[in-house]
Structure 1
Amino acid sequence: MPARWFCVFSLFLRFRPVAWLLLWAAATGWPATIQAQEVQPPLPFRFESPRQKRARLPFEFQRNLIIVQASLNGKGPFNFLLDTGVSISLITDPTLVVPLKLRRGEMYRVAGVGEEGALEAFMSDSVRVEMPGIVAPALSFLVLSADVLNLSGYVGMPVHGILGYDVFRSFAVEIEPDATSLLLHTPLSYRPPKGRRWTSVPLEIEARKPYIRVPVGLSDSLLLPLKLVLDTGAGHALSIETGSDPRLSLPPNRLRAQLGQGLSGTINGYIGRVQNMQLGRYQLNSLLTSFPDADNGAQRAEVPRNGNVGLELLKRFDMVVDYTHNKLWLKPNSLFQDPFEHDMCGMELLATGRDYRRYIVLKVQPNSPASTAGLTPGDELMSINLLPVSSFSLTEISRIFHSEDGKVLFLLFQRPDGELYPTRIKLKRQI
């Protein structure tokens, strides 16, 4: 039987200014286990004990992404990205198929965004998933035939897949970025958080993804209500698709950028800023914003929207994502006043090696400090200010490159031919 088409607009945008991951799924001929919302199957996850009302899960916060651990079919633990932007759970690491004895169901050709060909994947049902205090006895996964997203290289630690809608429809999910902790509540009996600092924003759940409608000030004279995917799997602050509304346009001050890599090739667009966004009673100003090109496939999404909001913005709040009551609850935390900064170095690093502590230059932004310093793809970063890079995580290096306009860094690289190349880079705010 020929493989059916499964259209996943999955952009793993290793966005040099703001790394982000979007996973938009639009399917024709979904299998019965992932049919439309009108007929809801039983909740896939439950508490281990029937008497439990909540469970606390630690997570790692890497590159503005939430990484949780889970055991599959009694093996692991494995690392999964927790992402409201995905409508079906994914296993992105095909090496897990044999040790987990994953059953091969219907085959699909997965169409992504970009310039290359499609990818094969298969559905696997009845996978037992266990996390501290919770269990899914028989979860379905879409298993990719190749790890084209390379989440591990981007995050700087092993990542084996993505969990999304299945978790968020099973619980009211409280996310505490400062504490790197999740608190999962029984959804039907959950009561809103108390305290005058909490504010709420209505959620719309469509095609298994959450959307918010919020006012965005694009300029002094233009304030528009935008429909945005609430996307915890996106490391950027805000993304706007200018083709979604004739009133939307690119900002005059912008950078052309190769935004990253999708399932089917390169994603291009611009980086700029919008003046503000209103979330309940709170306003955030001078938001760094991505503007993907219209031909990158976002216009084919199954639910019309204007873009998405990611964790670079959302991490500034403690939040409760409550699908059952269609509410997003927000309370500012210690990160609320942090400015939105673009990468000031101009190079993108890929983590490699057994422990993901070797860092290879993947891309260099034209006219950036990295470009001026003569860096090229393939160079390996060896030290920062005389400290070996093995003492830094990729998240820590990213923070250094985003840290301060005019800051001077002394970097040592090794060329592909083995030559050592020391250089001095002065960080520069470009947008």
Structure 2
Amino acid sequence: MKPILTKKNGMITNLNRAQLISYFLGLILISFLFTSCTSSSFLSKVNPTTFYYDGHIYLKAKVNSTDCILDMDTGAEALFLDSTFFYTKIDSTALVDFTLEGVGTQKRKIKVYADLLIYSLANKAKAQQYTPILNLQHTARHPSDGIFGFHFMENKVIGIDFVNQLLYITESTQSLPLNDFQKIPFELKDKKIIIDAAVQFTDNFTYNGKFVVDTGSDNTLNFTSDFAKTVKLDTIIKNKVHRNSIAMGIGNYSSNFSFNLPKLSIADSPIHNVFVDYSVDESGALSSSNNYDGIIGNSILERFDILIDYTTNHLYLKPNKRFITKESNEQLLFSLLPTESPVNGWLVHSKVSSPHFDKNELQLGDVITHVNGQNVNELKITNFIKQQKKKTNKTKLILNRNGKIVHLTIESIILKMER
């Protein structure tokens, strides 16, 4: 299932946890169709687990025997739990304070659950002590109960079929077909998968770099600010769009430039004309790094059938039917996130810096409460965006800005980027 709108386009789906549960229940009801649906999958001869995909990989799981939904994140080290799920479903007595750094410029003070937890998914189980508790459904925009990372996948082989939404976890590649897959060695540094890839910025400049493979990102490719400074991307890239964001993962605030990359080559698989970002953050996961030049996310990974072999540190890739994807050159001037604080509404969590947008006067942190007189609680963000793309007339907004009610009228919310 291809995401309707992903973070790369500056938007998320309006899917909530209840809808995710309904989705998985629906899969169970039609389980007798799995064989016919997966006949073209490289995982069809094993016993895979289904997942929901909207730019993130969501799987049914259990934490201390409690049903939940977890997001697969190869960029994360361990299990992280959402605060709402934790405080309503798990014993919350053994908590300690901790400071965590993620994508963005700010470190975040969090709570850590010090007792032992047992979590399981895809017929595998893992114990963990000292589990970070985060407000994932708000700050990281995940409609899930948590994130699982390297510790669960260590010394295992992970098969991912994005087209059929199937995942398989095993101890070796022996039961899996490797014909037509490209075998790529990877380095494992700080529990992260790092591969070599070539990026072509101009006809005269191609860079062979090291990149993190991150299933926790729904972006295409994000270059670190340190890399951008080293190769002088601000000078090389002439056509770019500046975007500032808040509520950006764990780090809270982030700033980047989007531009068209002529070619990204992973092994023998070149991907042409894809919109990517480079960070200008001074701290966080996309600032400086001695280990990697950027992060490759699911908007690239979804174009492949993938096997991650943590037993030998190899990545197996085979282009799937999504490989040749013509990406839209449209960027949203702002993007929205459902929020309950300070009021119920749609948080403006990122915006493009452009004369057109500045004229509209929307600001980061604004919470839209009404659209053309209708309360946004009665609307879906995705439907709002679709309607805005089709119409040319103005839209009237009522929003909360630092406790004050503001009335605004905006025109088009679309910016067409140059290739």
Length-normalised TM-score, structure 1: 0.71
Per the TM alignment, residue 361 of structure 1 is displaced from its structure 2 partner at its CA by 3.8
For residue 276 of structure 1, what is the aligned residue in structure 2? Answer: 263
Aligned partners of 1:191, 1:330: CA distance in 2, in Å? Answer: 13
Aligned partners of 2:171, 2:106: CA distance in 1, in Å? Answer: 43
- Structure 1: where are the runs of 5+ without partners? 1-13, 21-52
Going from structure 1 to structure 2, the CA distance change for 1:68 and 1:358 (only over 3 Å counts) comes to farther
Provide the alpha-carbon RMSD of the alignment: 3.9
For residue 147 of structure 1, what is the aligned residue in structure 2? Answer: 135
Q: Runs ≥4 in structure 1, deviation > 6 angstroms?
A: 299-302, 417-423
Give the letter for the 1:325 counterpart: T
Going from structure 1 to structure 2, the CA distance change for 1:364 and 1:113 (only over 3 Å counts) comes to closer
For residue 74 of structure 1, what is the aligned residue in structure 2? Answer: 65
Going from structure 1 to structure 2, the CA distance change for 1:382 and 1:90 (only over 3 Å counts) comes to same
CA contact (8 A) 1:85 1:229 kept: yes
Give the letter for the 1:253 counterpart: N
Structure with bigger helix share is 2
Helix, strand or coil for the counterpart of 2:226? helix
- Structure 2: where are the runs of 5+ without partners? 1-5, 13-44
Going from structure 1 to structure 2, the CA distance change for 1:420 and 1:56 (only over 3 Å counts) comes to farther
Going from structure 1 to structure 2, the CA distance change for 1:86 and 1:336 (only over 3 Å counts) comes to same
Per the TM alignment, residue 280 of structure 1 is displaced from its structure 2 partner at its CA by 2.2
For residue 85 of structure 1, what is the aligned residue in structure 2? Answer: 75
For residue 44 of structure 1, what is the aligned residue in structure 2? Answer: none
For residue 256 of structure 1, what is the aligned residue in structure 2? Answer: 242
For residue 167 of structure 1, what is the aligned residue in structure 2? Answer: 152
For residue 313 of structure 1, what is the aligned residue in structure 2? Answer: 300
Aligned partners of 1:183, 1:229: CA distance in 2, in Å? Answer: 21
Give the letter for the 2:270 counterpart: Q
Helix, strand or coil for the counterpart of 1:428? strand
Aligned partners of 2:207, 2:277: CA distance in 1, in Å? Answer: 17
For the pair 1:220 / 2:203, whether they are aligned, the reply is yes
Q: Which moved more, 1:406-415 or 1:313-322?
A: 406-415
For residue 40 of structure 2, what is the aligned residue in structure 1? Answer: none
Going from structure 1 to structure 2, the CA distance change for 1:257 and 1:415 (only over 3 Å counts) comes to closer
Identity rate, percent? 16
Aligned partners of 2:192, 2:225: CA distance in 1, in Å? Answer: 21
Going from structure 1 to structure 2, the CA distance change for 1:359 and 1:294 (only over 3 Å counts) comes to closer
Alignment length (residue pairs): 370
Give the letter for the 2:123 counterpart: I
Give the letter for the 1:378 counterpart: V
CA contact (8 A) 2:225 2:281 kept: yes
Per the TM alignment, residue 186 of structure 1 is displaced from its structure 2 partner at its CA by 2.8
For residue 283 of structure 2, what is the aligned residue in structure 1? Answer: 296
CA contact (8 A) 1:68 1:79 kept: yes
Aligned partners of 2:315, 2:107: CA distance in 1, in Å? Answer: 38
CA contact (8 A) 1:216 1:277 kept: yes
Going from structure 1 to structure 2, the CA distance change for 1:191 and 1:207 (only over 3 Å counts) comes to same
Going from structure 1 to structure 2, the CA distance change for 1:360 and 1:54 (only over 3 Å counts) comes to same
Aligned partners of 1:92, 1:107: CA distance in 2, in Å? Answer: 16
Give the letter for the 1:60 counterpart: Y
Per the TM alignment, residue 82 of structure 1 is displaced from its structure 2 partner at its CA by 0.7
Per the TM alignment, residue 56 of structure 1 is displaced from its structure 2 partner at its CA by 1.8
Per the TM alignment, residue 169 of structure 1 is displaced from its structure 2 partner at its CA by 2.0
For residue 37 of structure 2, what is the aligned residue in structure 1? Answer: none
For the pair 1:378 / 2:367, whether they are aligned, the reply is yes
| 1:138 aligns with one of 116, 127, 130 | 127
Helix, strand or coil for the counterpart of 1:425? coil
Q: Which moved more, 1:294-303 or 1:204-213?
A: 294-303
Per the TM alignment, residue 391 of structure 1 is displaced from its structure 2 partner at its CA by 7.3
Deviations along 1:264-304, one digit per CA (max 9) or x if unpaired, are: 54211211222211122211012211111151334776752
